[in-house]
């Protein structure tokens, strides 16, 4: 596919910082999100680069016979793409990362989280920095492209496709390849048709508190199986489980995570949403906006300390992110002119939010709803705006 290249400046800068700090950095993200392209941009112009593509037979052969020796002999920057194809390399890298003179640094690219690939988290704990690669962000494509990014999602081939039809066909192929090739390649044995049905069902529960038994009943599988499917799709970065925050209150709070499809384009694909008009008239408009805006905020703030909060009595905040120990709140409202709600007041007080952002798809300037609440177009929000 021929198209313009979007320069992902923020990720490239972050990658440079991480590589300078740590002997091993892993770029992790969903299939097709742009990891290899990013790494190519990063090494462009450098001469001390050794590149192993484990997707190819020759790439695997180069490391099969004596991987310790080969890796130990390298100098400069060593890129290993598709690391999930040979997870045993992680254990071999460990002593190489401990060498005091740091003769080589390693940049690993993969599309499965360490939890999904056995042995990885243990073998490199503390030695490797993980840098998540999300789909394209609003700051990368420009505010004027927001509707397109929201509808088609952040996979570059879908976002950049010539037509909505072409984007849909790409998504269809992506889902099929993911189920029939990528998951089996991880050594995971699940029927592709069952996993597809689970994924589609998850789309219908997008933005809702997870109820595993209900999902399992819907598919006529055991709850344990449903959980396994959840772990697979989350570990491959296509689903997100947002954990609940338990504040130390006398109130009954929701204790299950919330479920999201991470890419809004794949969500719309499964829901059969066609175009902006279809989306604006769709009953899941609010949930779609919530998931889209949530991913945009988490791409900028990181998702390590990210939660939602809800009480049994109905007060809630879509997202709470701790920054420097202080809780910031986010509400995502698919309306042009959001207002302060009783639920927001409760959250401000109960959680002691430093600030609450109400992010909406409209235009115009941010405006205050309260001394600690600001309504702001998503396209105008940046982490720097946070007080
Ligand atoms: N920044 C970008 N601008 C334009 N197109 C991009 C960009 N990044 C990736 N693409 C396109 O998206 C597709 C997937 O990119 P790439 O191969 O880099 O992803 P990946 O994450 O390495 O995928 P995989 O996990 O399948 O190896 C390619 O067609 C690529 O040209
Ligand atoms: Mg790749």
Relative to the CA of 155, which ligand 1 atom is closest?
12
**109 Cα: distance to centroid of ligand 2 (angstroms):** 7
Cβ–Cβ under 8 Å, residues 276 and 147: yes
Residues framing ligand 1 (Cβ under 6 A)? 1, 5-6, 8, 29, 31-37, 111, 156-157, 160
Q: Tell me the CA–centroid distance for residue 35 and ligand 2, in Å.
A: 5
Domain boundaries, given as residue ranges, for the chain: 9-132, 138-385
Tokens representing residue 66 in the block: 């004596």
Name the CATH topology of 9-132.
Answer: Rossmann fold (3.40.50)
H runs (alpha helix) in 236-380: 264-271, 275-280, 285-301, 342-351
Ligand closest to the CA atom of residue 236: 1
Tens-binned pLDDT, residue by residue, of the chain (387 aa) = 456 899 999 999 999 999 999 999 999 999 999 999 999 999 999 999 999 999 999 999 998 888 889 999 999 999 999 998 888 888 888 888 888 888 999 999 999 987 777 666 666 767 788 899 999 999 999 999 999 999 999 999 999 999 999 999 999 999 999 999 999 998 899 999 999 999 999 999 999 999 999 999 999 999 999 999 999 999 999 999 999 998 877 778 888 999 999 999 999 999 999 899 999 999 999 999 999 999 999 999 999 999 999 988 888 999 999 998 899 999 999 998 899 999 999 999 999 999 999 999 999 999 999 999 999 999 999 988 755
Which ligand lies nearest to the CA atom of residue 8 in the structure?
Answer: 1
Cα of 302 vs centre of ligand 2, distance in Å, is 22
User: Measuring from atom 16 of ligand 1, which residue has the nearest CA?
Assistant: 34
Q: Which ligand is nearest to the CA of 156?
A: 1
DSSP assignment of 17-69 equals HHHHH-SEEEEE--TTSSHHHHHHHHHTT-SSEEEEETTSHHHHHHHHS-HHH
How far does residue 195's CA lie from ligand 1's centre (Å)? 24
Q: Please tell me the distance between residue 351's alpha carbon and the centre of ligand 1 in angstroms.
A: 40
- Taking the CA of 157 as reference, the closest ligand is 1
Residue 147, token pair as written in the block: 């509707």
Atom of ligand 1 nearest to the CA of 31: 25
Supply the Cα-derived Rg of the chain in whole angstroms.
22
Q: 31: CA distance to ligand 2 center in Å? A: 7
Q: Which residue CA neighbors atom 1 of ligand 1 most closely? A: 6
> CATH assignment of 138-385, given 1.10.10.10, 1.10.3720.10, 1.10.1660.10, 1.20.140.10?
1.10.10.10
- N-terminal to C-terminal alpha carbon distance within the chain: 42
């Amino acid at each position: 596919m021929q198209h313009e290249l979007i320069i992902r400046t923020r990720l490239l800068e972050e990658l440079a910082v991480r590589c300078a700090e740590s002997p091993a950095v892993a770029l992790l993200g969903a299939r097709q999100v742009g990891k290899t392209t990013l790494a190519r941009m990063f090494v462009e112009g450098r001469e001390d680069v050794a590149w192993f593509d484990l997707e190819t037979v020759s790439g695997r052969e180069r490391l099969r016979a004596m991987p310790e020796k080969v890796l130990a002999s390298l100098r400069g920057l060593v890129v290993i793409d598709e690391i999930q194809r040979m997870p045993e390399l992680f254990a071999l890298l460990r002593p190489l990362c401990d060498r005091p003179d740091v003769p080589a640094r390693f940049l690993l690219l993969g599309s499965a989280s360490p939890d999904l690939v056995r042995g990885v988290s243990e073998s490199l704990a503390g030695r490797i920095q993980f840098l998540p690669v999300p789909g394209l962000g609003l700051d990368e494509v420009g505010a004027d492209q927001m509707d397109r990014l929201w509808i088609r999602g952040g996979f570059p081939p879908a976002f950049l496709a010539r037509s909505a039809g072409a984007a849909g066909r790409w998504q269809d192929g992506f889902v099929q390849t993911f189920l029939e090739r990528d998951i089996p390649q991880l050594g995971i044995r699940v029927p592709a048709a069952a996993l597809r049905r689970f994924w589609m069902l998850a789309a219908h529960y997008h933005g809702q508190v997870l109820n595993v038994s209900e999902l399992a009943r819907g598919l006529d599988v055991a709850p344990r199986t449903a959980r396994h499917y959840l772990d697979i799709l989350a570990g491959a970065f296509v689903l997100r489980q947002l954990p609940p925050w338990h504040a130390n209150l006398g109130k009954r709070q929701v204790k299950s995570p919330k479920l999201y499809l991470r890419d809004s384009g794949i969500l719309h694909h499964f829901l059969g949403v066609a175009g902006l008009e279809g989306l604006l008239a769709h009953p899941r408009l609010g949930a779609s906006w919530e998931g889209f805006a949530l991913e945009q905020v988490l791409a900028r703030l990181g998702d390590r300390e990210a939660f939602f909060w809800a009480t049994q009595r109905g007060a809630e905040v879509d997202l709470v992110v701790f920054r420097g120990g202080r809780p910031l709140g986010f509400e995502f409202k698919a309306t042009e002119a959001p207002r302060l709600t009783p639920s927001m007041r409760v959250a401000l007080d109960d959680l002691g939010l430093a600030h609450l952002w109400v992010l909406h798809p409209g235009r115009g300037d941010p405006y205050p709803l309260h001394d600690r609440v600001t309504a702001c177009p998503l396209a105008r929000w940046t982490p720097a705006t946070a007080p």
